[in-house]
């Protein structure tokens, strides 16, 4: 969500997937004899311990309600008969056949082995969104920013085509809706609160639903406004201003939500007859179509609902970073494009008369209008300096900045470190400027509070100020919202996530405006202005949900599974913008934009349908080229003529966490003719079909493990254009290493690692251990300040997943390495956000933790003795029968001593 989440089959030796905590290993070595292990502080599981989805066999969309009910009753009876202990939280019968349950690690392992259980999945925590507010009076002065209607063609659809979404019901599963806001008066037909105000606050995830889904967060109201808000007095219209709404609240006033709550809301939206459902919600890196929320999204489409979901905001975390509902089959996955205009927080008025607009950093005091300062910078600072203001470069001399505003260029160290160094040197204010084209909106947090204003300006403006400082220029703050042309307008937002899926399916599908969007906001917030500016794929998704509503009004018999193609194949490409601001001649990655920007007018006008609507080409290791058949179906009475040609996009090189743009192009033939030049003529007679045999060859110059892509462009000479995106992987997909190493600062640790929480140490994979660690499985108070919170003295393995994996097994071995039993099997795992502990957060896992509770498959305690743990990982799309597709780690020996 702004934007803001695996079949798991556990045997009775239960382990739980988790993320590390906020602290990192402090000292240690990556090898050699270790007698006490590497010091580790505060490593802990931070996912939702003890809460799981249990999925039963059988697709509920293909079974009768009686059959589903019988299956679930049989499961409950068998669990009671075998003495399995668990607490049922929710049951699902229409789109997901099963439950969410609370259970211990041992019991969930036993549940997974019961007949009729298809899989067990951890319930994910979905972080709460972040908002930025703007006064209604100021918003009303900027009608061009309202959903960038001209960017999508929504303005023409409303004003010339007469499309408003009237008669279409759109469900918004989010933080609720301000039912008192005039933009929604009389149009809310279903309103359900699943959680209550307190849900998610201070870690309290007990639902206490209220009578209405009144929004006290703001995100849901903003999203609904983009879909179809309508307030004439504010000159405000969303994409489809006459739709009816279903409002489903799954977030409280603060904190996140849980995936089982979201699934319950999805089932309710289906029961309420919503025709379109928007989910600006996701779980980064869980990019399998087989995860629970993605399964439910797929089944919603199967049952006739158009499902639209945000692609995610994890673009800074590399490729394969999407996840959640957006990965479902035929779910429309939406990327974000930056708006044409942006609103900043004020201006710096230079003594030269120049006005420089700025963003205020979060986490610091705001500037006050009229504050005036002399300007300075570090003597060595230039617009090319890479480590300006960093401690490693010497920071600032004591008292060198007293009473002045200091200009600091972005780069090398955190914004917080730069601001803190300036504050220690006496600075009265800090002006950060970007090191790439465009603006930045920094967040500044740290142990020592920053008590001075910190603002951020563009790279161009920062360079201009830098050249003026030597002449003695000064500045004055002018606080107040100001609108400027966005230097990154109409290009992919820096935050929008990368595909492809773990199974190399082309994702996302389409793009829409998501950067700096003004929309409705709860009237109860702040001054009651009723409007706010937000950015994220959360804002892009409702543009497409609104577009789908317009198409359903125009063509009410459109099948839900066909809506994605209707919108995708009429979209328009967006091009890649270099860090210096120039546009390339190649389109941006299709793994970030799909088919390009949604074009509502083109979708409305297109009489020719394309099947399939995208081409996922897979890996090239086994096939040097990929051949696909594309069918064009003319539903109109006019003969259509096209020039079919290849439009290659940029190729993604580098690594998963550090992708690098490459300008190598795939080649294409259509019906045996080269499509790399002027194109191949294609004629589709009225009310007929034509097959195109499309052959794509990966780019010869691209490195192995690169993702390539582009579009089959059908330039219409008698009607609108059509586009069909394609994507593929060059080389052997299984050559990507899954079990990665971990970094803390400049120290690399050879992971996986054996972890002893009680001793506060871990043992890297290559560490020789002089004395085997002992585990008693006794309970103890890990935190003396909280003696009531007990931990168990048990062994764990810390696993850094550098890529998605099809299956992960953890085995219990004897001292000599013989297999005792497999103690857990988890399927469809997402990758970790990062391999650097410094980057971990509540929404960014740096590694996973798997803990053994000391029990055997029959529930009895393992005997005292020496054991090892082994991890086996089957790679995505790997062959379980091919040893090369499985990676293996075996821990050092440890002793059980009860």
pLDDT at 372 over 50: yes
CB-based contact 223:128 (threshold 8 Å): no
The whole-number pLDDT of residue 261 equals 96
DSSP string, 325-390: GGGSTT-EEEEEEE-SEEEEEEEEEETTS-EEEEEEPBTSPPP-TT-EEEEEE-TT--TT-SSTT-
CATH number, residue 633: 2.60.40.2040
Tokens of 142: 């900027």
| 211 in any annotated domain | yes
pLDDT single digits (tens) 293-308: 999 999 999 999 999 9
As a whole number of angstroms, the distance between CA 616 and CA 630 comes to 12
Q: Classify 752 as helix, strand or coil.
A: coil
What is the structure's pLDDT at 540?
93
DSSP for 292-313, written as a single string: HHHHHHHHHHHTT-EEEEE--S
Higher pLDDT, 712 or 37: 712
* Same domain membership, residue 528 and residue 558: yes
| The domain boundary residue, chosen from 122, 153, 168 | 122
Which of 5-14, 73-82, 617-626 is least confident? 5-14
- Tokens 């797929």 belong to residue: 298
Mean pLDDT across 346-366? 93
Q: How many domains does the chain have?
A: 5
Q: Is 718 exposed, middle or buried (0-12, 13-18, 19+ CB in 10 A)?
A: exposed
pLDDT band at 526 (very low <50, low <70, confident <90, very high): low
| The pLDDT of residue 842 | 67
Whether residues 304 and 387 share a domain: the answer is no
Taking each helix axis as running N to C, give the angle between helix 560-568 and helix 537-554, from 0 to 180 degrees, rounded to the nearest 10. 110
Could you tell me if residue 136 is inside a domain?
no
Written as six digits, the tokens of 834 are 């990062």
Q: Which residues of 569-586 are buried (b: 16+ CB within 10 A; e: fewer)?
A: bbbbbbbbbeeeeeeeeb
Q: In this structure, is residue 133 part of a structural domain?
A: no
Mean pLDDT of 17-35: 36
- Can you say how many angstroms the Cα of residue 190 is from the centroid of all Cα atoms in its chain? 28
- Single pTM value for the model: 0.87
pLDDT of residue 131: 56
pLDDT tens profile 720-730: 999 999 999 99
- Burial class of 671 by CB neighbour count within 10 A (0 to 12, 13 to 18, 19+): middle
Residue at 134 is within a domain: no
Distance between CA 404 and CA 421 in Å, rounded? Answer: 14
CA dist 586 and 577 (Å) reads 10
Domain assignment present for residue 2? The answer is no
In degrees, to the nearest 5, what angle opens at C-alpha 798 toward C-alphas 792 and 802?
Answer: 155
Q: What is the pLDDT of residues 838-897, one digit of tens each?
A: 777 767 888 988 889 898 877 789 999 999 999 999 999 999 999 999 999 999 999 999
| Per-residue model confidence (pLDDT) at position 383 | 95
pLDDT of residue 44: 43
Question: Measured between alpha carbons, how far is 690 from 670 in angstroms, rounded to an integer?
Answer: 12
Does residue 254 lie in a domain region? yes
Kindly indicate the confidence band of residue 789, based on its pLDDT and cuts at 50, 70 and 90: confident
In this structure, the answer to whether residues 160 and 248 fall within a common structural domain is yes
| Domain's final residue, options 461, 485, 509 | 485
The string over 801-817, giving b where at least 16 C-beta atoms fall within 10 Å of a residue's C-beta and e elsewhere, is: bbbbbbbbbbbbbeeee
Q: Cβ(742)–Cβ(837) under 8 Å?
A: yes
Question: What tokens appear for 300 in the block?
Answer: 């919603």
Q: Is residue 815 very low, low, confident or very high in pLDDT (cuts 50, 70, 90)?
A: very high
Residue 57 sits in a domain whose CATH number is: 3.30.70.80
Between these two residues, 785 and 397, which has the higher pLDDT value? 397
pLDDT of the residue at 4:
28
Structural domain boundaries, residue 90: 51-122
pLDDT tens profile 60-104: 999 999 999 999 999 999 999 988 889 999 999 999 999 999 987
302: domain CATH number is 3.40.50.200
524 and 618 fall within a common domain: no
Residue at 739 is within a domain:
no
Question: Which tokens go with 322?
Answer: 């999407």
Same domain? 399 vs 530 = no
Q: Do 654 and 573 share a structural domain?
A: no
C-alpha closest to that of 749 among 846, 655, 830: 846
Closest CA to 462 of 415, 532, 518, 406: 406
For residue 575, CA distances in Å to 368, 581, 708 come to: 39, 12, 15
263 and 163 both lie in a single domain: yes
At residue 585, the pLDDT reads: 86
Catalytic residue ranges: 174, 219, 538
The answer to whether the beta carbons of residues 680 and 695 sit under 8 Å apart is: no
Is residue 441 included in any domain, yes or no? yes
Domain boundary among 579, 605, 631: 605
Residue 787: what pLDDT?
Answer: 85
Question: What kind and span of H or E run contains 39?
Answer: strand 38-39
d(CA 795, CA 870): 12
Residues 182 and 309 in one domain: yes
The mean per-residue pLDDT over the stretch 515-533 comes to 83
Per DSSP, the chain holds a count of helices (H) and strands (E) of 14, 58
Q: Are strands 689-697 and 626-634 parallel, antiparallel or unpaired?
A: antiparallel
129-173 confidence digits (pLDDT tens): 665 554 444 444 443 445 466 789 999 999 999 999 999 999 999
Mean pLDDT for all residues in the chain: 88
pLDDT in tens, 454-474: 999 999 999 999 999 999 999
pLDDT in the model for residue 40: 63
Predicted confidence band of residue 8 (pLDDT cuts 50, 70, 90): very low
* pLDDT score of 148: 62
Same domain, residue pair 388 and 475:
yes
User: Two tokens at 93?
Assistant: 């019968």
Lowest mean pLDDT among 181-185, 585-589, 712-716: 585-589
Please tell me what DSSP assigns to residue 556.
T
34-43, 132-141, 399-408, 851-860 — most confident range: 399-408
Question: In percent, how much of the chain has pLDDT > 90?
Answer: 68
Please indicate, yes or no, whether residues 564 and 505 belong to a single structural domain of this protein: yes
Residues 667 and 691 in one domain: yes
Q: Give the model's pLDDT for residue 561.
A: 94
Distances (CA, A) of 628 to 273, 669, 687, 692: 36, 11, 23, 8
In this structure, are 56 and 42 located in the same domain? no
880: domain CATH number is: 2.60.40.4070
């Amino acid at each position: 969500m702004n934007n803001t989440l695996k079949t798991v089959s556990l045997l009775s030796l239960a382990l739980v997937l988790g993320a590390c905590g906020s602290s990192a290993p402090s000292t240690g070595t990556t090898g050699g004899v270790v007698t006490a292990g590497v010091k580790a502080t505060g490593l802990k599981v931070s996912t939702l311990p003890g809460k799981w989805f249990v999925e039963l066999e059988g697709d509920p969309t293909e079974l009768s309600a009686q059959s589903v009910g019988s299956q679930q009753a049989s499961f409950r009876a068998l669990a009671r008969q075998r003495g399995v202990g668990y607490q049922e939280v929710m049951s699902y019968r229409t789109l997901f056949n099963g439950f969410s349950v609370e259970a211990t690690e041992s019991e969930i392992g036993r549940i997974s082995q019961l007949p009729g259980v298809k899989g067990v999945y951890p319930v994910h925590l979905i972080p709460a969104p972040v908002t930025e507010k703007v006064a209604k009076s100021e918003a009303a002065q900027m009608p061009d920013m309202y959903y960038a209607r001209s960017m999508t063609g929504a303005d023409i659809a409303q004003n010339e085509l007469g499309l408003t979404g009237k008669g279409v019901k759109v469900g918004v599963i989010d933080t609720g809706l301000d039912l008192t806001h005039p933009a929604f008066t009389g149009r809310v037909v279903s309103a359900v609160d699943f959680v209550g105000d307190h849900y998610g606050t201070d870690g309290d995830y007990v639902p206490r639903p209220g009578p209405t889904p009144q929004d006290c967060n703001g995100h849901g109201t903003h999203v609904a406004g983009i879909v179809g808000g309508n307030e004439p007095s504010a000159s405000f219209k969303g994409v489809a201003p006459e739709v009816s709404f279903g409002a489903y609240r799954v977030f409280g006033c603060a904190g996140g939500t849980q995936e089982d709550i979201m699934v319950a809301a999805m089932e309710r939206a289906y029961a309420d007859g919503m025709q379109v459902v928007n989910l600006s919600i996701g779980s980064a890196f869980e990019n399998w179509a087989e995860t629970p929320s993605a399964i439910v999204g797929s089944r919603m489409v199967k049952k006739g609902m158009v499902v639209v979901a945000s692609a995610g905001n994890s673009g800074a975390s590399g490729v394969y970073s999407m996840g959640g509902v957006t990965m479902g089959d035929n779910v429309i996955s939406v990327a974000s494009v930056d708006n044409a205009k942006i609103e900043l927080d004020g201006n710096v008025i230079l003594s030269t008369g120049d006005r420089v607009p700025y963003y205020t950093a979060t986490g610091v005091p705001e500037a006050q209008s009229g504050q005036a300062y002399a300007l300075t910078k570090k003597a060595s600072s230039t617009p090319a300096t890479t480590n300006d203001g960093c401690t490693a470069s010497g920071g600032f001399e004591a008292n060198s900045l007293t009473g002045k505003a200091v200009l600091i260029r972005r780069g090398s160290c955190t914004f917080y470190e730069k601001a803190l160094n300036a504050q220690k040197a006496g600075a009265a204010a800090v002006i950060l400027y970007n090191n790439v084209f465009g603006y930045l909106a920094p967040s500044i947090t740290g142990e020592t509070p920053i008590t001075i204003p910190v603002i951020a300006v563009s790279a161009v403006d920062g360079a201009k100020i830098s050249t003026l400082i030597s002449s003695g220029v000064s500045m004055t703050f002018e606080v107040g919202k100001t609108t400027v042309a966005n230097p990154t307008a109409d290009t992919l937002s820096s935050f929008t996530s990368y595909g492809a899926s773990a199974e190399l399916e082309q994702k996302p599908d389409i793009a829409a405006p998501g950067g700096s969007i003004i929309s409705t906001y709860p009237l109860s917030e702040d001054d009651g202005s009723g409007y706010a500016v937000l950015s994220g794929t959360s804002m892009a998704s409702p543009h497409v949900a609104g577009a789908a509503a317009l198409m359903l009004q125009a063509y009410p018999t459109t099948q839900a599974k066909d809506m994605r193609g209707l919108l995708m194949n009429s979209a328009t490409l967006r091009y890649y913008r270099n860090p210096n601001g120039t546009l390339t001649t190649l389109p941006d990655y299709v793994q970030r934009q799909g088919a390009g920007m949604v074009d509502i007018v083109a979708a409305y006008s297109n009489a020719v349908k394309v099947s399939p609507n995208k081409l996922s080409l897979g890996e090239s290791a086994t096939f040097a080229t990929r051949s696909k058949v594309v069918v064009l179906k003319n539903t109109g009475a006019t003969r259509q003529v096209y020039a079919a040609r290849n439009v290659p996009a940029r190729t993604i090189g580098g690594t998963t966490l550090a992708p690098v743009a490459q300008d190598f192009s795939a080649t294409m033939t259509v019906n045996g003719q080269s499509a790399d030049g002027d194109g191949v003529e294609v004629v589709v007679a009225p009310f007929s079909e034509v097959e195109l045999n499309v052959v794509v060859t990966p780019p010869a110059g691209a490195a192995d493990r690169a993702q390539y892509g582009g579009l089959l462009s059908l330039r219409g000479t008698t009607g609108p254009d059509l586009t069909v995106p394609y994507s593929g992987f060059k080389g052997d997909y299984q050559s990507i290493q899954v079990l990665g190493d971990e970094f803390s600062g400049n120290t690399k640790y050879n992971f996986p690692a054996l972890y002893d929480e009680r001793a506060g140490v871990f043992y890297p994979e290559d560490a020789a251990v002089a004395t085997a660690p002992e585990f008693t499985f006794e309970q103890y108070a890990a935190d003396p300040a909280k003696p009531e919170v007990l931990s168990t003295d048990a062994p764990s393995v810390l696993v850094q997943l550098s890529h998605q994996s099809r299956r992960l097994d953890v085995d219990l071995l004897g001292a000599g390495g013989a297999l005792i039993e497999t103690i857990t099997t988890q399927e469809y795992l997402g990758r970790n956000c990062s391999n650097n502990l410094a980057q971990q957060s509540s929404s960014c896992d740096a590694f996973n933790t798997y803990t053994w509770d000391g029990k055997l498959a029959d529930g009895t305690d393992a005997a005292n003795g020496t054991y090892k743990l082994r991890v086996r990982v089957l790679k995505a799309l790997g062959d379980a029968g091919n040893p090369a597709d499985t990676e293996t780690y075996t821990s050092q020996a440890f002793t059980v001593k009860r």
